[in-house]
A and B are shown apart, each in its own frame.
Chain A
Amino acid sequence: MIAAIAFYVLAAVSVFAALRVVLASNPVHSVLWLITAFFSAAGLFVLMGAEFLAMLLVVVYVGAVAVLFLFVVMMLDVDFVKLREGFTRYMPFGAVVACILLVEMILISAAVAARGAGAHAPGVQHATDVTNVEAIGRVLYTDYVYIFQAAGLVLLVAMIGAIVLTLRHRPHVKRQDIHTQVTRDRKKALAMTRPETGAGVRPEDLV
């Protein structure tokens, strides 16, 4: 009974929060709603008996990803007036598409449920003698080692991509080079100048 109530509350909150993520015009609010959605999804995982996944969701998605989003969004120069401009123009069309999708999904789900299709699907096997972490650990590096390694490669590509697209070696940037820094002496480091009053010294003139 309590589990059912908890499920419906969490499910309703996550659907509502997900809607607000899309509909909120302020991106900061969107991210905060996203965190709410993650939290309630984590609650749903707990109800299913997957405590480890719930914890991962909170630690990784809420703790790291969403906070990172928040930083990025706050650093963006967002023009809220401009954001709202397109909204009314595209909303009717978007609403029509969303309604069609929703109606289709309800129709099909109803048809499927009427024939009792879902009952035949083999559910998740509950191994009662092992903990969540153990159950995942048993298959992650054995049955799914191929996918695990391939996912690692996907991350490698993402890293290479980030470096290819953003790393620039600018000539005037001062990087740490311990050898040259330590072997510097007074002759190289000091320059005596006699600037005119009010003119100042530009660093380029000294080098």
Chain B
Amino acid sequence: MEFTNALSIATPELIVVIGAMVLLLVGAYGGDKARPAISLLSGLVLIGAAVASATGPLGQAFMGAFVNDSLAVFAKVAIYLASAVAILLGHGWMIRNNQARFEYPILILLAAAGMSMMASAGDLISLYVGIELQSLALYVLAAFNRDDAKGSEAGLKYFVLGALSSGLLLYGASLIYGFAGSMAFDDIAAAAAGAHGTSLIFGLVFLLCGLAFKISAAPFHMWTPDVYEGAPTPAVAFFAAAPKLAALVLIARTLGEGFHVIEDQWRQVILALAVLSFCVGAFGGLMQKNIQRLLAYSSIANMGYALLAIAAGTTVGVKAMLVFMVLYMVDVTGFFACLLALSRGGRPITQISDLAGLKQDRPGTAIVLTMLSLSVLGMPPFAGFWAKVYVFGAAIQGGLWIFAALGLAASVVAAFYYLRLIKLMWFDPSPGLTDPAPRDAQWVAYAAAAFSFPLVLFALGWLDGFAGTAARALGLG
């Protein structure tokens, strides 16, 4: 009885995992002919899982290792939908670039399963296994184009640094276990309230280092530009969205459930990570020539803002992080969809200078890129502006106004490179005509732009309500 109950709570994960395994068999026996069907079915599996998690029962299962509260549900729906978009974007791109293999959607499915394990991790073991499941699938996706030297380099760098960060994380987890005597977040919270509060910080610092690696927060960001540059573009579009949300939710849950008693101590760590991230992101991006490297620095900076919201340590802060991440995920997916839609002479556009004069032959894409750039830099009335309003509002409410001011200054610096993109597209001469755009990527880009303005104004009311319910699940002040 208890076991059936546990399985019903974990239905979305079961759908994703069983779907992945069945489709793996279909792919192994069906070969290349089955590829379109596998992509389509993987997308459907993810959408089914999103529906199942939105409507499924809440509760704890497997001795508290698996927590399905409203925060987990919010994160899972966003993760599954973002993963489905990544499959859609990847399918066409892989065929056009002769890299199509049926494992791509299956690895995304397994990564999504890992991410939802992260979103509902209730103890340190499920935290670690979830991270490992997700990361391992992402390492393979990064090196997916194995004949490309840059792709292999990206995969290897991601793997070696990721393994190092897992080592740090495990070391921290074992220290925490040693001091608290338990791996469940509830017991850790009880231990933190007792005499071992200070000793737990020791393990927590290592744990946070490992987690910061996964969200590419500075100073653990070194792998990000190389991986973004070398990995296949649709895979990068996936890396930049769902895994970051999963890891941030995991950080919020670990800190909020396990360590809220020693909030003053971890806040310093998170603030240091946040400030370094948005400074490195803003200044590092200035010198970039490759668009994907630029987007890597942009994502580092945005992780800084998300961490700033978590540092507030309040329900409002977690809510701000969730709203920020959803709006950012839409923006960044749209950005990458534009990149996937652009090619010149059969080669994907990689350099920023290749965007020059885009308005002449691709006015639609130029408008979309302009809107998304303005949105990411935080110009009203686009989505990115509202995202930053939430984050800075939460930070100021939490008494972190100095850090909010620093963040604002960093986003002014970062505005330079988005404005340079816009200037290049609209005012510089074009080096030549671009190829006709594939429809799938173009529609995703249009949809993202339409969301960033004006749809966001309508969606924000809903999102605010859902994120508020989700954030209250942690029971912070």
Measuring CB to CB, which residues of chain A are less than 8 angstroms from any residue of chain B? 105, 108, 111-112, 115-118, 120-123, 143-147, 150-151, 153-154, 156-158, 160-161, 163-166
Q: Which of B3-46 contact A (CB under 8 A)?
A: 6, 10, 17, 21, 24
Is the CB–CB distance between A153 and B110 below 8 Å?
yes
Q: Report the bound CA distance from A111 to B195 in whole Å.
A: 12
Interface pick from B60-68, B275-283, B455-463: B60-68
Is the CB–CB distance between A121 and B180 below 8 Å?
yes
Interface string of B176-205 (1 = CB under 8 A from A): 001111100000000100111011001000
Selected A-B contacts with CB under 8 Å, 26 pairs? A105-B202, A111-B198, A112-B196, A112-B198, A112-B199, A118-B179, A120-B194, A121-B179, A121-B196, A122-B182, A123-B181, A143-B62, A144-B125, A146-B6, A146-B10, A146-B126, A147-B125, A154-B129, A157-B136, A160-B140, A163-B103, A164-B101, A164-B140, A164-B144, A165-B143, A165-B155
Is the CB–CB distance between B136 and A161 below 8 Å?
yes
Any chain A CB within 8 A of the CB of B137?
Answer: yes
Q: Which residues of B contact A112 (CB under 8 A)?
A: 179, 196, 198-199
Could you list 6 further interchain pairs (A-B, Cβ under 8 angstroms) beyond the known A154-B129, A154-B133, A165-B146? A111-B199, A144-B65, A153-B114, A154-B132, A154-B136, A163-B103
Is the CB–CB distance between B133 and A153 below 8 Å?
yes
Interface string of B149-171 (1 = CB under 8 A from A): 00000010000000000000000
- Closest CB-CB distance, B82 to chain A, in whole Å? 19
CB within 8 A of B129: which of A123, A151, A160, A161?
A151
- Closest CB-CB distance, A121 to chain B, in whole Å? 4
Q: Which residues of A contact B6 (CB under 8 A)?
A: 146
Measuring CB to CB, which residues of chain B are less than 8 angstroms from any residue of chain A? 6, 10, 17, 21, 24, 61-63, 65-66, 101, 103, 106-107, 110, 113-114, 117, 125-126, 129-130, 132-133, 136-137, 139-140, 143-144, 146, 155, 178-182, 191, 194-196, 198-199, 202
Q: Which residues of B contact A121 (CB under 8 A)?
A: 178-181, 191, 196
Q: Which residues of B contact A117 (CB under 8 A)?
A: 179, 195-196, 199
Is the CB–CB distance between B181 and A160 below 8 Å?
no
Q: Which residues of A contact B202 (CB under 8 A)?
A: 105, 108
Is the CB–CB distance between A153 and B179 below 8 Å?
no
Is the CB–CB distance between A158 and B136 below 8 Å?
yes
Find the A residue at minimum CB distance from B107.
A160
Q: Which residues of B contact A118 (CB under 8 A)?
A: 179
- Closest CB-CB distance, A131 to chain B, in whole Å? 23
- Closest CB-CB distance, B44 to chain A, in whole Å? 20
Q: Which residues of A contact B10 (CB under 8 A)?
A: 146
Is the CB–CB distance between A146 and B110 below 8 Å?
no
Q: Which residues of A contact B194 (CB under 8 A)?
A: 120
CB within 8 A of A115: which of B113, B140, B191, B195?
B195
Q: Which residues of B contact A160 (CB under 8 A)?
A: 24, 103, 106-107, 110, 140
- Closest CB-CB distance, A171 to chain B, in whole Å? 16
- Closest CB-CB distance, B400 to chain A, in whole Å? 27
Find the B residue at minimum CB distance from A121.
B181
Q: Report the bound CA distance from A115 to B197 in whole Å.
A: 12
Is the CB–CB distance between B137 and A146 below 8 Å?
no
- Closest CB-CB distance, B298 to chain A, in whole Å? 28
Is the CB–CB distance between B196 and A150 below 8 Å?
no
Q: Report the bound CA distance from A55 to B10 in whole Å.
A: 35
Is the CB–CB distance between A157 and B110 below 8 Å?
yes
Is the CB–CB distance between A143 and B106 below 8 Å?
no
Q: Report the bound CA distance from A130 to B198 in whole Å.
A: 37
Find the A residue at minimum CB distance from B133.
A154
Is the CB–CB distance between A157 and B140 below 8 Å?
yes
- Closest CB-CB distance, A147 to chain B, in whole Å? 5
Find the B residue at minimum CB distance from A151.
B129
Q: Which residues of A contact B182 (CB under 8 A)?
A: 122
Is the CB–CB distance between B199 and A108 below 8 Å?
yes
Q: Given contacts A154-B133, A164-B101, is CB(A120)–CB(B195) below 8 Å?
A: yes
Q: Report the bound CA distance from A69 to B66 in whole Å.
A: 35
Is the CB–CB distance between A145 and B133 below 8 Å?
no
Q: Report the bound CA distance from A59 to B155 in whole Å.
A: 31
Q: Report the bound CA distance from A115 to B194 in whole Å.
A: 12
Is the CB–CB distance between B66 and A120 below 8 Å?
no
Q: Report the bound CA distance from A162 to B38 in whole Å.
A: 20
Q: Which residues of A contact B101 (CB under 8 A)?
A: 164
Q: Which residues of B contact A115 (CB under 8 A)?
A: 195
Q: Given contacts A117-B179, A164-B103, A165-B143, is CB(A147)–CB(B113) below 8 Å?
A: no
- Closest CB-CB distance, A9 to chain B, in whole Å? 22
- Closest CB-CB distance, B39 to chain A, in whole Å? 15
Task: Give the one of A115, A145, A153, A166 with max B CB within 10 A.
Answer: A153
Q: Report the bound CA distance from A154 to B111 in whole Å.
A: 10
Is the CB–CB distance between B107 and A143 below 8 Å?
no
- Closest CB-CB distance, B199 to chain A, in whole Å? 4
Is the CB–CB distance between A157 and B133 below 8 Å?
yes
